[in-house]
Amino acid sequence: MSEHIQIQNAMSCQCMSPGLQNFRDIGGYSISLTQCIREGIVYRSASTDHVDRSHVDGLQASHDIRIIFDLRSAGERMQQSSPPAKIPIIGLPAVAKPDGITLKKYFDGLLDNAPLACAELYQHICAHSNAAFYAIFKYIRDNPGKPLLVQCELGKDRTGVFIGVLLFVLGASEHDIISDYALSQKGIEGLVVARKEKLSRSDFMKDVSPSLVALDRHFMALPESMILFLSYLKDTYGNGQGYLESIGLRVEDFDKIRSNMTREV
């Protein structure tokens, strides 16, 4: 699938999900001459916290989404006073507790080499999110045909890492993985101002004190960052099967996940 078609798909999804930012279906990408990633199974987005509850519930009717996996830490997730959503939201923290030293290195690095700093942060997220990513892969394995949504605060970084890994496991091309990641630049535009304010009040940022330039660069979805992260995945795990085995899944799990997530073209 071309980048142009994927962008149209993302815009269409956003129109059908009022208020939900950076929302899109990751399906449609080719993995071979005869197979592509199945549409309508895995979606990605920014947080649903500030979306009217009726719109969250509407995801079930519009996209048949059965479960939402939230990759934020418990402290980041808002306490909802309204009745629980129809769709269960499961907290699966990626990098459960933000590390001040890692965050300071990241924001300082954004001033010198933003793509590299971001890629190194993504490597850190990937290496410290085995339990969260295992749980989502296990759901995909055990629930064929049951759509899910993966979210974090912006749907760009932690979600971006998981989706990048998922597409890598499924055998999508580097071009398509990078193109999907880059769509987040447009997808988060409406969130940047509020997110900057929220970051300034976050406990885990009190010892970081990023410059305004570094903070601005934090909101970029640079293709070069994903290029470097994919190079890390290949160097570290070899291929998708190698990654799944590293987090405790087996060859037969890899085959089942690929089968559940792909279709003939």
What is the Cα Rg of the chain in Å?
17
Q: Listing from the earlier edge strand, what are the strands of the sheet with 89-91?
A: 24-25, 42-45, 148-151, 67-70, 89-91
Place of tokens 């269960």: 88
Mean pLDDT, all residues of the chain = 89
| CB 125 within 8 Å of CB 158 | yes
CATH of the domain at 223: 3.90.190.10
Phi, psi of 188 (to 5 degrees): -100, 5
Range of the domain at 140: 3-264
Q: Count of domains in the chain?
A: 1
* Helix, strand, coil shares, percent, the chain, to 5: 55, 10, 35
In the prediction, which pLDDT does 56 show?
87
Q: Give 30's DSSP letter.
A: B
Report pTM: 0.91
pLDDT digits (tens, 9 = 90+) for 116-162: 999 999 999 999 999 999 999 999 999 999 999 999 999 999 999 99
Residue of 83, 120, 107 whose CA lies nearest to 212: 107
The H or E element containing residue 25 is strand 24-25
